Structures are given as structure tokens and as C-alpha cells.
Structure 1
């Protein structure tokens, strides 16, 4: 093999993909994620361990903080989500259950954790607009959940939003109704 064949020129190589934008599954690429989005991802991974393995939150937290990329996450938001969801699991499940078409035990642990995060943020993170909470949880379900799990997360959280953020949702919907078609 000649040297030319073993070292392809730059024009022969496939174009380098950008770090921002969307992956083939429709999820955001790592380069375009905010610190809070990263915090939600790490909280989701921790909550998955909590739901599936019933591991102690302190052990989950120690393990998660050692994962690659954790230093880029909003640590305060991560702590609030991980500990807040675990400490309030019964109350969060009580909010979610009436919106389900099956039992909680039949929900994928990933989608369950996404719904916990969404419900928790609706109640406790009032600085995050409800549409952002909804979108972030859908993105988590797209990236980590089953094929159509994001649609289920969307339906459940869309049903919860008017209950937990009634004034904000009503204001947004009134604004939409007034917008020219």
C-alpha cells in the first residue's frame, strides 16, 4: 500500500460533526447543554439508581460526583433535584399517579424519574418557566428513555402543569390565544 493510500487527505475524510445541535435521536448534543441541563441529567442518573437499586442517596451522590463531566453541572440544582425528589417521592407519586393510564410500577424507571424531576421543578423551582421544565424533561426522556417514552412524559407533565403552575400556564395560553394566526 502506498503512503498516499494509508494516509487519506483531509478531503477524503468525512466532515467533522459539530458538538452542538442534535444527535440522530433528536436529543441535544453535549456541547449545547446548559449547566442546569447537565444537572438534570446527573440527577436523572442518580434517581434511576434510587428507583431501581434502592441505593442510599449519599452513596448515589458520591458515585455521581465522580462521573465524567459532573464539574460542568449546576451542583446546587443537581442537589435540589436528587435530594428533593428522593425525599418527596410519595408526594410526587401522588401527583403523577392520577395522570397515568397504568400503575406506577409499570412505568419505566427513566420516565418515572423524568416525571419526578418535572413535578419537583414545577413545585419548587419557580425561577424555571414551566415550558422549560416540560421541554427539559422531554429531552431527558428522549436521550435516556425508551423509544416513545418522551411522549408519555410530555402527556403527564402537560397534565400536571395547569395544576402546579396555574397562573403561569393560564397567562401563556391567553397570550397564545391573542397571537395573530
Structure 2
């Protein structure tokens, strides 16, 4: 009996770690924070809103029943989903001047990710601006098109100075003290 187990174990590939990066460069599920998971679920909900024109209450109910939602920050999810849908026109007004093509030509995934980034830059002051950009880039790597993360990065990097000017100025100013 032990020979059978040994033979079948030898044929299996080695177990892959649950943390780290996938082959596309995105973080694996075991490496994600509660807020990162909330952003993923919000992205799925915003996609349903943008593409399917589903009601936000229906999206909310559906999303909360998905596997893994219990590991997400539900308060942050609520803020992102409800806030982005409610302020979609204002978020688009912030994003459109930074686009090199009409908004209708932007993938709904990248559109939703840019909504999340713009919303967080505007309303979630507890999240540093660099974290907002990084999280949105990670979402675009995992769910967007091949180079969608580069486009999302460019747009949100262009938007951040107008929404977080003080934070960015403080972040970019030289803070090193000369040694005596």
C-alpha cells in the first residue's frame, strides 16, 4: 500500500505556495489583505454596474454571497461599490481629461479600476496615495488586459496630484537630515 502512495506522490508536481506572486505578477490569494479583497469584490460589482446596468442593491446582495467575501473588508467594499456607483459621473469627469481616447473605448475593467482609484484618492484619506495606485495596478494586472495596468497607472498618476497635492508634495520633498 505504501508503494502505491509513493508512486502517485512521485507523479504529482510539488505543492505551490499560496503566497507570493502568480506567473502574471499579481499577488496570490494568501498574500492579499482584507481591503485588497474588498477592492476585488468592488471591481466585480462595478463591472456588473457598468456592463449589465444592474441595480447596486442587487449587485451588493449577489456579491456578499460569493465565496471568500467573508475575508473581505465589508465596510470598505460598501464604500467603494456604493460610492463609485453614486458618484460615477463625477469620477468620470476627473478621469476623462487624462484619457487619450474616448471613455467608451476604455475596457469596463480598467474603467471600474480607475473609478476605484479616483474614489479612494478623493475619499479614503486613511489609504496613502501610493497604496491606492499600487492596489489599482495590481487589480489591472490580475483582471485587466495585457497592458491595462500601465494605462491605469498613467491615468491615476496624473490624477493623484490634483486630489492629494499636500500628501504628494510631502512625500516627494527631501526629508533626509544632513549628518553632523
Structure 1 length normalisation: TM-score?
0.92
- 2:103 matched to which residue of 1? 104
TM-superposed CA distance for 1:14, in Å, is 1.9
Instruction: After superposition, give the CA deviation of every residue in 1:87-139 in whole Å (9 maximum; x if it has no partner).
Output: 00000000000000001100000000000000000010000000000000000
Distance in 2 between the 1:129 and 1:6 partners? 51
Residue 39 (structure 2) pairs with residue 61 (structure 1) = no
- 1:137 matched to which residue of 2? 136
Taking the TM superposition and a 5 Å limit, the aligned residue runs for 1:27-176 are: 27-175=26-174
Unpaired runs of 5+ residues, structure 2, are none
Moved over 4 A (4+): 3-7
Distance in 1 between the 2:149 and 2:177 partners? 28
Distance in 2 between the 1:179 and 1:17 partners? 45
Structure 2 length normalisation: TM-score?
0.93
TM-superposed CA distance for 1:7, in Å, is 5.4
The 1:16–1:157 alpha-carbon spacing in structure 2 relative to 1, beyond 3 Å, is same
TM-superposed CA distance for 1:171, in Å, is 1.2
Distance in 1 between the 2:23 and 2:70 partners? 26
TM-superposed CA distance for 1:15, in Å, is 1.5
The 1:48–1:175 alpha-carbon spacing in structure 2 relative to 1, beyond 3 Å, is farther
TM-superposed CA distance for 1:36, in Å, is 0.2
Unpaired runs of 5+ residues, structure 1, are none
Instruction: After superposition, give the CA deviation of every residue in 1:117-164 in whole Å (9 maximum; x if it has no partner).
Output: 000000100000000000000000110010000000000000000000
Distance in 2 between the 1:174 and 1:113 partners? 32
RMSD: 2.0
- 1:17 matched to which residue of 2? 16
Matched position secondary structure for 2:145: coil
